[in-house]
Amino acid sequence: MADSEAKHVVFASSGSNERGEEAASLPVPEATGGASGFGEASPDLLRNTPSNIARLEDVIEQCEGRRKYLKQTRSPSDGGDVRWYFCKVPLADDELAASVPRTDIVGKGDYFRFGRRDSLAIEASFLQREDELLFYWWKEYAECSEGPTGHPSSSKKLDQQPNASSPKGPQSVELYEEEEEERVGVPVKGGLYEVDLVRRHCFPVYWNGENRRVLRGHWFARKGGLDWLPLREDVAEQLEVAYRSQIWHRRTFQPSGLFAARVDLQGSTPGLHALFLGEDDTWEAWLNMDPSGFSSVIPLGGNGVKLRRGYSKSDSSKPTQDELRQQKEEEMDDYCSQVYAVTV
Number of residues that make up the chain: 344
CA angle 182, 185, 187 (to 5 degrees): 130
For residue 21, pLDDT over 80 is answered with no
Q: How far apart are CA 280 and CA 66, in angstroms?
A: 22
Q: Are strands 219-222 and 272-277 parallel, antiparallel or unpaired?
A: unpaired
For residue 298, pLDDT over 50 is answered with no
Q: Are 85 and 111 in contact (CB under 8 A)?
A: yes
For residue 15, pLDDT over 80 is answered with no
DSSP state at residue 97: G
Question: What radius of gyration do the chain's Cα atoms show?
Answer: 21
How many angstroms separate the Cα of 55 from the Cα of each of 60, 123, 336, 337? 9, 13, 21, 17
Q: What is the pTM of this model?
A: 0.77
DSSP state at residue 28: E
Residue 161: the pLDDT is: 36
Per-residue pLDDT tens for 43-52? 888 888 899 9
The beta strand positions in 174-254, using DSSP E, are: 186-188, 193-196, 201-204, 212-217, 219-222, 229-230, 252-253
Per-residue pLDDT tens for 120-146? 999 999 999 999 999 999 999 988 876
Instruction: Report the share of the chain in percent with pLDDT over 90.
Output: 46
Helices (H), ranges, 112-199: 116-128, 130-144, 172-175
* Contacting residues for 297 by C-beta, under 8 A, at least 6 apart: 103, 104, 105, 223, 269, 305
The structural domains of the chain, with segments of one domain joined by +, span 43-144+184-339
How many angstroms separate the Cα of 189 from the Cα of each of 40, 87, 214, 218, 330? 16, 14, 14, 21, 9
Residue 341: the pLDDT is: 59
How many angstroms separate the Cα of 291 from the Cα of each of 19, 240, 251, 271? 32, 25, 21, 8
**Shortest CA distance to 34 belongs to which of 184, 195, 179?**
184
Per-residue pLDDT tens for 224-283? 777 899 999 999 999 999 999 999 998 888 887 788 999 999 877 888 999 999 887 889
Residue 134: the pLDDT is: 94
Lowest-confidence range among 78-87, 154-163, 174-183? 154-163
How many angstroms separate the Cα of 236 from the Cα of each of 26, 215, 273, 321? 32, 11, 12, 25
10 Å Cβ neighbour count for 150? 6
Instruction: Report the share of the chain in percent with pLDDT over 70.
Output: 72
